[in-house]
Amino acid sequence: MNTPYITLHNLIERPGLTEISQAVAQDGEIPVDVGLLDAMINGDEVTLWPSDEIASATTVLSRINESIANAEAEINGFLRQRGHKLPLVKVPRLLTDWARIIVRYKLHRNRISDEKTDPIVRDYKQVLGFLKMVAEGKYSLGIDDALPVAGGAPKQTGPIRIFDMNTLRDFGR
């Protein structure tokens, strides 16, 4: 069973449908009505809206789902490097938060801002840093790690012994 790292319902909680609707709108498009998006996500009746708005909302939802799939693929790439067996049976809450940040970054692809002060870019770069540490074995997600911790078991090496039981057998007789 493939458990998603994040769902549309998670994105409704944070960052919220208003931000998502505005971020997904292409250049020159009017953002889709938040009420319509909410109704479509929850499976409610949408016949009250005009058909062109429903078509726009369907396009927006497919863009959001594509961003979710891209975020999961990005995370899976780092988890595979670490040797985790995918798909994960139980998704740690931390991965859901990281997926939310990655999806939000991908939805804001046309955002014009200063990278140094933009919280969306900052959060995305922090998540990438943590994912790199997970891949290197320096950070654990709290799930069973498939590989031993970096460094492995201790090894003992040294020169050949000069004084051992054979060379000292006549000593003291």
Q: Is the pLDDT of residue 1 over 80?
A: no
Alpha carbon dihedral 1, 94, 21, 124, in 10-degree steps, equals -120
Domain ranges of the chain: 8-136
Q: What distance in Å separates the CA atoms of residue 113 and residue 144, rounded to the nearest whole number? A: 39
Q: Which amino acid, residue 32?
A: V
> What is the tens place of the pLDDT at every residue in 56-106?
999 999 999 999 999 999 999 999 998 888 888 889 999 999 999 999 999
The helix/strand/coil state of 67 is: helix
Of the candidates 131, 110, 17, 96, the residue with the CA atom closest to the CA atom of residue 64: 17
Mean pLDDT of all residues belonging to the chain: 89
| Structure tokens, 51 | 């058909």
